C-alpha cells in the first residue's frame, strides 16, 4: 500500500530545498570574495625592522605601521585590503583585484623617508617635521605642478634657512634627491616647496606619500606572491570546469551504483555544495584556488558518508532484512564509522590551518567546513529523506537500492 | 571481478615485501635525486609566465638577460606549451619582476601575464620547519584519537600505513623530479587525513567482528581480518573512487597552478587504497597475533 502523503512530504522537502537553492544561489555565489590567485592581485609578507639602531619594535609601532600602510592603500583605492600583523615583527598585506600591481607594490614598500639635507649631506630635518597633511599639490604661473610643504615647526625651519643662507639644501625621498634649491632668504612661516619636472599625477602621488607619513620602520619583503588578472581568471575557469566534470562523475557513479538511494545522495550533495557556499559567504571567507580544490575534494568525501551508510544498508538487505529495518540498522551502524573517519580528517585540517600560510589556510578552512557540513547534509539530510521515503512504501524492491534479488540470503 | 571472495591475508608477506621494496626505492631515490625544491623551500623567485604562444626556451632566457636577469631553470608548461615556469635562485625585487614583464610583453605581446612568487631563504627554512611539524603533529593527533577510540595497535599500524602512503608520494615526486612546494605539503596532509579515513572503515569492522568469532589461534584471527576486509572492500573502493573522480578531474582540467597538488593527491589516494586493504589491517594482524599467542607452547619445545 503506497502512502501518497509520504511521497508528497518527500517531494516537498526536495522541492523546497531546490527552490531555496535556485532562488538564492546567485546572490550567495556573487557574495563570495575571490582570493587574489583567482582575480589577480598580490600578497606580501614584510619583515619589519626599526629604522634606527637600538630602537625597539613595540606593538604600537606595528600598529602605526599598519595605519600608514592602510593610508597608502587608500591612495590606491583598493576595496578590500587585508592587513594582518603576524608574530612580533611581520606584516602581511593582501590586495586582490589591483589593476596596476607594479605601482601598488612600489607604493606600499616605499619607506618614503623624507629628509632635508645640508650641503654636505647632513640631515637637517626629517619627514616627521612635516605638518599633518602638510603636503599639497599647487601650480606655478606656468601651470606646472609643484608640491607645497607645510612644516610642523616653523621656527626650526627658520633657523635652518638662516644657518644655510645662500647654500643649497636638498630635499630627498629615500636617498633620491628630488630637488636642491638654494636658500635665497630666511624662510619664516613654515612653508616650503618641492619643484621639479612632475606630471600632475606624479606630484599628487608624491604629496600623498608624504602625507601618508614616513613609515616609522624599515620593511623588507620576505615573501611575495603576485598573480596577473588574466592568469587568475584562467585558473578560476579551469577549476570550475574541473569541478563540474569531477562532481558530474561522482553523481553518475552514485546513480549507477546505488540507483534510487544514489539519487537521494545526489539531492543531499547538491544541498551540501550549496550550504558550503552559504557558510563561506557568511564567514566572509575568501575563496582561493586551493579552496576550490578542497571544495571539489570534499564533495568526493561527503559521498563517503553516503557510501558507508548505503553499503551497510545493502548488507542488511542481502542478509534478508526488510527495507525498513535494513535502512534503520544501516544508518545506526554506520554513524560511528563516519564520525571516526571524519574526525581524523578534521585533525589533519586543523593542523593545516594552524601551520599553513594564507592560501593553504583557505584550503584547510574549506576542508573543515566541508566535514562539518557533511555531517549535516550527507548524514542528517540523507537520513531524513530516506526515512520519509521508506515509510511511503514506494520503490521497495532491493533493486532500487543496488541489490540483486539473487544476492539475498533467505533468513 | 568479485572482490568479496579474495583471500587478502594469506599473501600478506608478499604485500609487505612489495611495500618494503617501494620504501627502499623511495629512500634510494631521495638520496640519489633529492628533491626538485620549489622557491617555497629554498628561497628565490618563481615566475609563471603566460607567454600565450609556442616559444623557444632560449628566446625567453635571452629576453630576460637583456634586462639583466639570469634565470636558473626554464620549464615549459600548459596544454599548448604556452607557459614558462622560470626559476631564479635569488629573490627578485619588484622592479626586476616589472622589468621582466615589460621585456616579455615587448617580445610576445599584450597577452603576457605573470604569476610571481618570491621567498626569502630565511622564510623558506621556516616553512620547511613548519611543514615537518605539521606532518608530525597531524600523525600524533591521529594516533591519540585512534588510541582513545580503538586501541594503540590500530593507531600505530594505521599511522604506519599512512606514513607509507605519504612516503610513497614523496618518492614519486623525487623520482620524477616534480617540483615540491607548499601545496605539496597540503596534499600530503590531506592524504594523511584521508588514508586513515579509509583504513578506519576496515579497522571498525575488525573491531565489530572480533567478538563474533571465538578467536583461539592465529587462523581464527586471520579469518576475522579476512572476513572484515571482504565485507568492507566495496565500501573502501567506492569511497576512494569517488574522491579519485574529484582529484583526477582537478589533475586533468584544473589548470597549471594546482596540477602538482592534484597529482600528489591522486598518487596518494591510490597508495592509500592499497595500504588500507593490504598493509594496515595485515600489520595489525601480525602484531595482535604475536601478542595473543606468544604464550602458546611451541610444538617443537623439546628440541630447544
Distance from CA of B118 to the nearest CA of A (A): 5
In this prediction, residue B16 has a pLDDT band, given cuts at 50, 70 and 90, of very high
- Here the ipTM equals 0.85
pTM of the model: 0.80
Task: List pLDDT tens digits, range B161-180.
Answer: 988 998 899 999 999 999 88
Q: Which of B238, B231, B189 is nearest to B206 (CA)?
A: B231
Of A147-156, A272-281, B56-65, B231-240, the range with the lowest mean pLDDT is: A147-156
- In this structure, what C-alpha cell is assigned to residue A207? 604629496
Q: Of A374-383, A395-404, B21-30, where does the model show the most confidence? A: B21-30
* Exposure letters A57-77 (e unless 16+ CB within 10 A, then b): eeeebbeebbebbeebbebbe
> Considering Cα of A149, then A155, then A156, then A159, what sign does the dihedral take?
positive
* Exposure letters A170-208 (e unless 16+ CB within 10 A, then b): bbbbeeeebbeeebeeebeebebebbeebeeeebbbbbb
Q: Which of A142, A135, A153 is nearest to A194 (CA)?
A: A135
Per-residue pLDDT for B284 more than 90?
yes
Of A279-288, A334-343, A353-362, A369-378, the range with the lowest mean pLDDT is: A353-362
- Whether the CB of A251 is below 8 Å from some CB of chain B: the reply is no
Of residues B193, B245, B249, nearest to A349 (C-beta): B193
Q: d(Cα B16, Cα B273) in Å, to the nearest integer?
A: 15
Mean pLDDT for all residues in chain B: 86
Instruction: Find the helix or strand (DSSP H, E) in which A38 lies.
Output: helix A36-39
- Return residues 372-391 of A near B (CB < 8 Å): none
Which residue on chain A is closest to B129 by alpha carbon?
A355
Task: List pLDDT tens digits, range A243-267.
Answer: 999 999 999 999 998 888 899 999 9
* Section A46-69 average pLDDT: 79
The answer to whether A222 contacts B119, with C-beta atoms less than 8 Å apart, is yes
Task: List pLDDT tens digits, range A209-235.
Answer: 677 655 667 788 888 888 888 888 888
Per-residue pLDDT for A136 more than 90?
no
- Whether the CB of A1 is below 8 Å from some CB of chain B: the reply is no
Per-residue pLDDT for A143 more than 90?
no
The answer to whether A226 contacts B114, with C-beta atoms less than 8 Å apart, is yes
In this prediction, residue B157 has a pLDDT band, given cuts at 50, 70 and 90, of very high
* The pLDDT of residue A245: 95
The answer to whether A351 contacts B117, with C-beta atoms less than 8 Å apart, is no
Of residues B118, B193, B201, nearest to A337 (C-beta): B201
Of residues B116, B201, B231, nearest to A225 (C-beta): B116
* The pLDDT of residue A169: 82
Mean pLDDT for all residues in chain A: 82
Amino acid at each position: 500500500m503506497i502512502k501518497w502523503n509520504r511521497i508528497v512530504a518527500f517531494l516537498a522537502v526536495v522541492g523546497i530545498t531546490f527552490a531555496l537553492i535556485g532562488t538564492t544561489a546567485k546572490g550567495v555565489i556573487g557574495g563570495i570574495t575571490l582570493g587574489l590567485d583567482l582575480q589577480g592581485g598580490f600578497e606580501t609578507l614584510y619583515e619589519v625592522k626599526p629604522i634606527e639602531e637600538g630602537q625597539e619594535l613595540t606593538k604600537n609601532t606595528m600598529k602605526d605601521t599598519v595605519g600608514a600602510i592602510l593610508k597608502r592603500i587608500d591612495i590606491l583605492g583598493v576595496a578590500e585590503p587585508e592587513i594582518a600583523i603576524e608574530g612580533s615583527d611581520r606584516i602581511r598585506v593582501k590586495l586582490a583585484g589591483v589593476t596596476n600591481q607594479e605601482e601598488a607594490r612600489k607604493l606600499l614598500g616605499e619607506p618614503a623617508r623624507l629628509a632635508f639635507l645640508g650641503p654636505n649631506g647632513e640631515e637637517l630635518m626629517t619627514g616627521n617635521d612635516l605638518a599633518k597633511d602638510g603636503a599639497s599639490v599647487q601650480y606655478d604661473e606656468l601651470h606646472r605642478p609643484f608640491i607645497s610643504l607645510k612644516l610642523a615647526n616653523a621656527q626650526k625651519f627658520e633657523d635652518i634657512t638662516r644657518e644655510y643662507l645662500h647654500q643649497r639644501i636638498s630635499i630627498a625621498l629615500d636617498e633620491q634627491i628630488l630637488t636642491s634649491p638654494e636658500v635665497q632668504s630666511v624662510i619664516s612661516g613654515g612653508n616650503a616647496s618641492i619643484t621639479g619636472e612632475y606630471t600632475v599625477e606624479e606630484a599628487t602621488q608624491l604629496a600623498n606619500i608624504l602625507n601618508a607619513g614616513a613609515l616609522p620602520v624599515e620593511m623588507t619583503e620576505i615573501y611575495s606572491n603576485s598573480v596577473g588578472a588574466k592568469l587568475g581568471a584562467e585558473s578560476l575557469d579551469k577549476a570550475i570546469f574541473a569541478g563540474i566534470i569531477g562532481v558530474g562523475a561522482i553523481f553518475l557513479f552514485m546513480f549507477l551504483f546505488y540507483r534510487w538511494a544514489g539519487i537521494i545522495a545526489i539531492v543531499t550533495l547538491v544541498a551540501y555544495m550549496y550550504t558550503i557556499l552559504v557558510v563561506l559567504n557568511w564567514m566572509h571567507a575568501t575563496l582561493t584556488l586551493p579552496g576550490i580544490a578542497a571544495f571539489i575534494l570534499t564533495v568526493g568525501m561527503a559521498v563517503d558518508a553516503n557510501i558507508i551508510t548505503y553499503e551497510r544498508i545493502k548488507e542488511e538487505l542481502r542478509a534478508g532484512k526488510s527495507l525498513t529495518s535494513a535502512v534503520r540498522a544501516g544508518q545506526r551502524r554506520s554513524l560511528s564509522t563516519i564520525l571516526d573517519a571524519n574526525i581524523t580528517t578534521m585533525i589533519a585540517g586543523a593542523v593545516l590551518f594552524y601551520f599553513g600560510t594564507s592560501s593553504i589556510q583557505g584550503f584547510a578552512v574549506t576542508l573543515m567546513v566541508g566535514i562539518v557540513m557533511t555531517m549535516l547534509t550527507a548524514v542528517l539530510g540523507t537520513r531524513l529523506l530516506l526515512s520519509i521515503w521508506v515509510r511511503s512504501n514506494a520503490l521497495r524492491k532491493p533493486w532500487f537500492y543496488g541489490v540483486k534479488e539473487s544476492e539475498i540470503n533467505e533468513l | 571481478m568479485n572482490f568479496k571472495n579474495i583471500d587478502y591475508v594469506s599473501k600478506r608477506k608478499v604485500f609487505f615485501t612489495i611495500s618494503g621494496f617501494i620504501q627502499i626505492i623511495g629512500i634510494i631515490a631521495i638520496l640519489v635525486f633529492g628533491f626538485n625544491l620549489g622557491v617555497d623551500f629554498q628561497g628565490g623567485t618563481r615566475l609563471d609566465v603566460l607567454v600565450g604562444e609556442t616559444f623557444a626556451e632560449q628566446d625567453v632566457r635571452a629576453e630576460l638577460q637583456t634586462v639583466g636577469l639570469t634565470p636558473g631553470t626554464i620549464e615549459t608548461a600548459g596544454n599548448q606549451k604556452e607557459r614558462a615556469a622560470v626559476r631564479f635562485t635569488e629573490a627578485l625585487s619588484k622592479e626586476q619582476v616589472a622589468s621582466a614583464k615589460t621585456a616579455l610583453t615587448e617580445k610576445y605581446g599584450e597577452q603576457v601575464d605573470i604569476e610571481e612568487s618570491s621567498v626569502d631563504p630565511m622564510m623558506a627554512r621556516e616553512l620547511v620547519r613548519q611543514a615537518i611539524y605539521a606532518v608530525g603533529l597531524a600523525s600524533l593527533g591521529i594516533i591519540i584519537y585512534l588510541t582513545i577510540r580503538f586501541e594503540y595497535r590500530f593507531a600505530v599500524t594505521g599511522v604506519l600505513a599512512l606514513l607509507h602512503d605519504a612516503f610513497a608520494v614523496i618518492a614519486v615526486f623525487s623520482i620524477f623530479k616534480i617540483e615540491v612546494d607548499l601545496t605539496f605539503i597540503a596534499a600530503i596532509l590531506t592524504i594523511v587525513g584521508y588514508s586513515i579515513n579509509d583504513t578506519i572503515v576496515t579497522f571498525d569492522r575488525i573491531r565489530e567482528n572480533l567478538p563474533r568469532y571465538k578467536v583461539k589461534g592465529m587462523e581464527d584471527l586471520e579469518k576475522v581480518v579476512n572476513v572484515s576486509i571482504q565485507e568492507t572492500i566495496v565500501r573502501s573502493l567506492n569511497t576512494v573512487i569517488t574522491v579519485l573522480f574529484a582529484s583526477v578531474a582537478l589533475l586533468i582540467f584544473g589548470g597549471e597552478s594546482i596540477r602538482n597538488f592534484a597529482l600528489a593527491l591522486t598518487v596518494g589516494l591510490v597508495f592509500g587504497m592499497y595500504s588500507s586493504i593490504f598493509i594496515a589491517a595485515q600489520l595489525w594482524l601480525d602484531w595482535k597475533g604475536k601478542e595473543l599467542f606468544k604464550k602458546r607452547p611451541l610444538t617443537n619445545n623439546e628440541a630447544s
